[in-house]
Amino acid sequence: MKPIIRLQTPARMPTAEAKPGDRKGVQSVERAFDIMHIVAAAPGPVGVAEIAQALDSSPSKVHHYLVSLVRCGALRQTGRGAYDLGATSLGLGLSALSRLDTVERTCDRAEALRDEIGEAVFVAVWGNRGPTIIRYFEGFRPLAVEARAGLVLPVLTSATGRVFLAWGNESQVLPLAEEEGGGEMEQIRHHTLEIGLGRVDGDLLPRIASLSAPVFSYGTDLSLAVTVLGWSGDFDDKADGAVGKSLKAACAALSTEFGG
């Protein structure tokens, strides 16, 4: 694990001394969120000592907060005794994302695309662990795949990951791609940019092919990815095929709507 001193500092910075008329807050709640920010910014599970170092506090004091955060599901304790984000944090994050207009509009369009082509469709964003599914729409033909909200996908072997590799923030994406081995990373990126879609056939799951397209907002900022998947051979996974054209058209319309 990287040293905690390399992690981002908590988003809530210490405030100046309280002044008359300031609203009274609960310091312990603010401290708990400082811990949440530290864990969220980490590249993986974080130990008590590292969290304490980042907060300039003692491990014993931090431990009390961690016990409560684990009890409410905001954090979870791994088998090695370190701490990571828990189910409650995931649920809150997904709920917050679903209330953003860009996410809501993209999910609506993804569901409409599923109705149009009949194949399974999902929407993904870049999370703190990589490409993360936030909504999944079952196709009319059942697939033996685990594609659920909160699932994190690999960068190099998933169509969704390749979209983020091609158009995403390099400082975020490249380190994860290198952790996966980095093999043929530049070739994959070039091919994805060339065809305008992320594409895999059996690279991630046997007999499953998928296409993924970017949704941009505010110029060239990659906001989300919309991915279609189906059975290899039965699924038209050509970039210039009917499914690919429908996927590109849907995401291009969304990008225009969002100012991308």
Average pLDDT over residues 132-159: 91
In this structure, the dihedral spanned by the alpha carbons of residues 54, 59, 61 and 67, taken in order and rounded to 10 degrees, is: 100
Q: Domain residues for 53? A: 4-17+24-85
Q: Are residues 138 and 220 in the same domain?
A: yes
Least confident of 31-35, 98-102, 112-116, 144-148: 98-102
Q: Are residues 78 and 195 in the same domain?
A: no
Q: Are residues 239 and 206 in the same domain?
A: yes
Amino acid at 56: D
Domain final position from 85, 116, 136: 85
Which burial class, exposed, middle or buried, applies to 237 when counting CB atoms under 10 A from its CB (0-12, 13-18, 19+)? buried
* pTM of the predicted model as reported, rounded to 2 decimal places: 0.67
Q: Are residues 250 and 146 in the same domain?
A: yes
What's the whole-number average pLDDT of the chain? 86
Q: Are residues 200 and 232 in the same domain?
A: yes
Average pLDDT over residues 12-38: 70
Domain final position from 64, 85, 106: 85
Cα–Cα distance measured from residue 247 to residue 254, given in angstroms and rounded to the nearest whole number:
11
Query: Binning pLDDT at 50, 70 and 90, where does residue 105 land?
Result: very high
C-alpha pair distances (Å), 126 with each of 61, 119, 168, 218: 33, 23, 9, 16
C-alpha pair distances (Å), 169 with each of 40, 104, 173, 194, 258: 18, 23, 6, 18, 18
Q: Are residues 65 and 112 in the same domain?
A: no
Average pLDDT over residues 233-248: 93
Q: Are residues 108 and 144 in the same domain?
A: yes
Q: Are residues 104 and 67 in the same domain?
A: no
Q: Are residues 237 and 208 in the same domain?
A: yes
The tokens describing 170, both together, are 């390099």
The tokens describing 146, both together, are 């685990």
Q: Are residues 161 and 217 in the same domain?
A: yes
Query: Binning pLDDT at 50, 70 and 90, where does residue 97 land?
Result: low
Strand partners, 213: 226
Greater model confidence, 200 or 23: 200
Cα–Cα distance measured from residue 80 to residue 167, given in angstroms and rounded to the nearest whole number:
35
pLDDT of residue 75: 94
Average pLDDT over residues 97-102: 69
* CATH number of the domain residue 64 falls in: 1.10.10.10
The total of other beta-carbon atoms located within 10 Å of residue 20's CB is 4
* CATH number of the domain residue 174 falls in: 3.30.450.40
Does 95 score more than 80 pLDDT?
Answer: no
pLDDT of residue 128: 82
Contact status, residue 165 vs residue 188, Cβ threshold 8 Å = yes
